[in-house]
């Protein structure tokens, strides 16, 4: 509770907590709160303006926009959290291995990181998905590859900083195995910056997934995705602006919420920034 109170006092912290909490609740309770099924087609009600029956209007197939946005939140959150979990696990493992291994192994892993990070994230993700094909599973796996170096570099730098610390040397003298040192001493000391980076990368993943879906290389219809909704809204923008407007606002609020949460967490967990506030 104390951490939440301190987090809410940071610039944008309250908005971030409200936005992220609301997004998570909407995603979890999507089947309960959505007024219609996300794929329920009603041709007679196509491209309707917002009304009491359809609060956000309908799309070109008569599907309720609000319902599709709610289920799109579930897709966005599921993909972003899956990507972050996979890339964080792989990146931390590779980063720690690089820091604790002989120089040759370290150079190989760092070289792989350099190759991946030499391309802009969205361009590399677009290229990989274009080669291996669209689809939910491919998007999660291939975008995860893009973010592995983000966590690997931080994990490697943090591990190098503490690997010669007195408490690590003491564990080695006492005969502790490497895996025990990594789990009980290295990981707890490097997880803070990595967790902050994960929060700041979530909106990037959401944006990349929406961009891929907008281009037809991400989540495939009829599954509701904010990127697909933006694509449909752009196609029928001259007939109805509501789909593009509301899906764009949902994407903006989600990415802004996670970005501000990451910054607030950084300020809260960094002792130097905490003292100056």
**Could you read off the pLDDT of 3-49 as tens digits, one per residue?**
455 555 666 677 888 888 899 999 999 999 999 988 888 888 888 88
Kindly state the DSSP code that residue 10 receives in the 8-state scheme: S
Q: Where are the domains of the chain?
A: 2-42+56-276
Number of H helices, E strands in the chain: 13, 0
**Could you read off the pLDDT of 90-101 as tens digits, one per residue?**
999 999 888 888
Predicted pLDDT at 176: 65
Predicted pLDDT at 81: 92
Kindly state the DSSP code that residue 220 receives in the 8-state scheme: P
What's the rounded mean pLDDT across residues 54-83? 91
Between residues 2 and 16, the one the model is more confident about: 16
Phi, psi at 81, each rounded to 5°: -70, -35
Residue 82 clears pLDDT 90, i.e. is over it: yes
Protein fold of 2-42+56-276: MetI-like fold (1.10.3720)
**Could you read off the pLDDT of 159-200 as tens digits, one per residue?**
888 777 776 767 666 666 666 667 766 777 778 788 888 888
What global pTM score does this model have? 0.84
Predicted pLDDT at 275: 46
Per-residue tokens: 212: 């891929």
- Rg of the chain on CA atoms, in Å: 22
**Could you read off the pLDDT of 198-224 as tens digits, one per residue?**
888 898 899 988 888 888 888 887 888
Residues 136, 217, 76, 241, CA torsion sign: negative
The gap from C-alpha 176 to its chain's centroid, in whole angstroms, comes to 36
Rounded to whole angstroms, the Cα distance separating 160 from 101 reads: 11
Reported confidence tier of residue 270, pLDDT bands at 50, 70, 90? low
Q: Which residues contact 29 (CB under 8 A, 6 or more apart)?
A: none
Picking from 120, 115, 112, the residue whose alpha carbon sits closest to that of residue 90 is 112
Facing residues of 64 across strands? 58
Calculate the alpha carbon distances from 54 to 20, 23, 47, 232, 251 in Å: 25, 20, 11, 17, 20
For tokens 């606002």, name the residue: 249
Predicted pLDDT at 277: 46
Rounded to whole angstroms, the Cα distance separating 42 from 64 reads: 9
Predicted pLDDT at 9: 65
Residue 269 clears pLDDT 70, i.e. is over it: no
**Could you read off the pLDDT of 220-264 as tens digits, one per residue?**
878 888 888 998 888 888 888 998 999 999 999 999 888 888 877
Burial of 112: CB neighbours in 10 Å, binned 0-12, 13-18, 19+:
middle
Per-residue tokens: 99: 């820091």
């Amino acid at each position: 509770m104390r951490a939440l109170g301190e987090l809410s006092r940071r610039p944008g912290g309250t908005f971030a907590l409200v936005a992220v909490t609301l997004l998570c609740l909407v995603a979890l309770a999507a089947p309960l709160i959505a007024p219609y099924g996300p794929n329920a087609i009603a041709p007679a009600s196509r491209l309707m303006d917002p009304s009491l029956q359809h609060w956000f209007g309908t799309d070109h197939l008569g599907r309720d926009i609000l319902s599709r946005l709610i289920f799109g939140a579930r897709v966005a959150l599921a993909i972003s959290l899956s990507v972050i979990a996979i890339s964080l696990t792989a990146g931390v493992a590779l980063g720690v291995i690089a820091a604790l291994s002989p120089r040759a192994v370290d150079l190989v892993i760092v070289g792989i990181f350099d190759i991946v990070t030499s391309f802009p994230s969205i361009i590399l993700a677009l290229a990989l998905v274009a080669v291996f094909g669209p689809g939910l599973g491919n998007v999660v796996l291939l975008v995860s590859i893009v973010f592995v170096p983000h966590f690997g570099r931080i994990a490697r730098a943090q591990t190098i900083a503490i690997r010669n610390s007195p408490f690590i040397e003491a564990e080695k003298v006492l005969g502790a195995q490497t895996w025990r040192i990594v789990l009980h001493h290295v990981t707890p000391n490097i997880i803070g910056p990595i967790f902050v980076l994960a929060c700041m990368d979530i909106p990037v993943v959401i944006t990349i997934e929406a961009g891929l879906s907008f281009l037809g290389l991400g989540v495939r219809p009829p599954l509701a995705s904010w990127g697909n909704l933006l694509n449909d809204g752009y196609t029928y923008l001259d007939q109805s602006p509501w789909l593009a407007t509301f899906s764009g606002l949902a994407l903006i609020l989600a990415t802004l919420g996670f970005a501000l949460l990451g910054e607030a967490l950084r300020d809260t967990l960094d002792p130097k920034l905490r003292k100056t506030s």
